[in-house]
Homo-oligomer: A and B are copies of this chain.
């Protein structure tokens, strides 16, 4: 794992997500998604390009390199697992689940994510197989 600040991981992940929507990713798209200004994106993209994680010609498209894509997908998969914990298992609002997932996705090591995923799978499997268990869990979590 190359050294990469959390902020840069956020930008990298944003490129991946933005790619799914539009054919070419531009500075402006990332700025809008992340809620920052264009100069901030410029600086971050330059850093990512230096690290060999994206390709970017001046005034042109931003594209993930294979290495960058792999790293972005890793971050995103953590994000998804965490979101699943908060939103699906704990039943929190989407907005709050998203915030929490963003805050944690950079810091959880691979082992923790794996364990967490297994716990969620276990709970979902049990709840799917037994209505009694599902009801018990729901009751335990409360209404608020």
Contact = CB atoms under 8 A, between A and B. Distances in A.
Interface of A: 86, 89-92, 96, 99-100, 103-104, 106-109, 111-112, 114-116, 118-119, 121-122, 136-137, 140-142, 144
Contact of A115 (B92, B107, B108): B92
Contacts of A119: 89-90, 137, 140-141
15 contacts: A90-B112, A92-B111, A92-B112, A96-B111, A96-B112, A100-B104, A100-B107, A100-B112, A103-B103, A103-B108, A104-B104, A104-B107, A111-B144, A114-B142, A121-B140
A7 B103 CA distance: 14
Given A103-B103, A122-B137, A137-B122, A91 B108 contact: no
Dominant secondary structure of chain A at its interface with chain B: helix
A132 to B, nearest CB: 12
Nearest to A91: B115
Nearest to A121: B140
B103 A144 contact: no
